[in-house]
Amino acid sequence: MKNSIKALCLFVVMTNLSCGQKSENEVNMPSETSFTAELIVDGLEIPWGMVFLPDGSMLISEKSGEIILFKDGQKSTITNGPEVYNRGQGGLLDMELHPDYENNGWIYLSFASEEGEDKGGNTAIMRAKFDGNSLTDKEILYKASPNTTKGQHFGSRLEFDDQGYLYFSIGERGERDINPQDITRDCGKIYRIYDDGRIPEDNPFINESNAKKAIYTYGNRNPQGMVKHPETGAIWIHEHGPQGGDEINIVKKGANYGWPVITYGINYSGTPITDITEKEGMEQP
């Protein structure tokens, strides 16, 4: 059940034309389905992430900042969660257990945080422990900067790979022409760190002057899906794009995923972003 809930079912149809540039989009609905839906937890508002604990109970993050424990059919609120910047798409976001959770007890959370000198917020990564009623031993492992009052594109999915590295996403925070293609700036990136927040010595930009050393890929827009492939161990991401610009990408060390230089999407107003859908040195959407 755990793997089936978290697994991504990815179907991608690529054509020579941008989906966003078609006058009409077609949606093919299945005539039959091989599954049924069952209500497990009700009364939620904007649940964003969830993890299953070893005893089968579940922690659920609400965008508002509330952490819910669902156990034996009952919901309770967990205290001492992080203070969140609950604006637009920001708030309390993803949750992930350490691969060795049963021995070390670490839970990882991503959330929009106001920490910093600038007004607004940006994505932060925290680890903490859970004593059954509240979070303890809270540690901030990464905080993107600068803050901004823009309410979009916090990214913030979390995933561990087979080597125990923690990957997380941060969206470009609505600054598409400033952040994604600049490795000296946070936002519009996939990051890789050790489980305690240290920067791996073999990260791709570790020796680049002024670069953000935790960056693993760049040119990303707003990755809000992330999963480890169960067979290959590769990290896959789903990127929210503009109209016709959603992407499924496999994370590659140092790769540039092109946003906003190349894309199949167009602005929500219907105006074009670019006619370029591929460029040397960039991963094609």
Q: Give the strand pairing for 235-239 and 247-250.
A: antiparallel
Tally of CB atoms within 10 A around 56: 11
| Summary mean pLDDT of the chain | 91
Q: Which residues contact 175 (CB under 8 A, 6 or more apart)?
A: 148, 150, 187, 188
CATH of 2-8+42-250, one of 2.120.10.30, 3.10.20.30, 3.90.1560.10, 3.40.250.10: 2.120.10.30
Please give the positions annotated as active site: 153
User: pLDDT by residue (tens digit) across 26-84?
Assistant: 778 888 999 999 999 999 999 999 999 999 999 999 999 999 999 999 999 999 999 99
Short-list 88, 90, 50, 89, CA closest to 71: 50
Ordered alpha helix ranges (H), the chain: 2-6, 101-104
The domain segmentation of the chain, as residue ranges, is 2-8+42-250
Q: What is the pLDDT of residue 225?
A: 96
Q: What's the rounded Cα separation, in Å, for the pair 148 and 174?
A: 9
Q: What is the pLDDT of residue 210?
A: 97
Below-50 pLDDT ranges, the chain: 1-21, 23
CB 285 within 8 Å of CB 258: yes
Tell the residue number behind the tokens 């969830």, with chain if given.
50
* Rounded alpha-carbon distances, angstroms, from residue 46 to 61, 93, 252, 284: 8, 10, 31, 33
- Region for 174 from its dihedrals, namely left if φ exceeds 0, alpha if ψ lies in -120 to 50, beta otherwise: left
Q: Which residues contact 97 (CB under 8 A, 6 or more apart)?
A: 51, 52, 53, 106, 107, 108
| Sheet architecture: strand order including 235-239 | 223-228, 235-239, 247-250
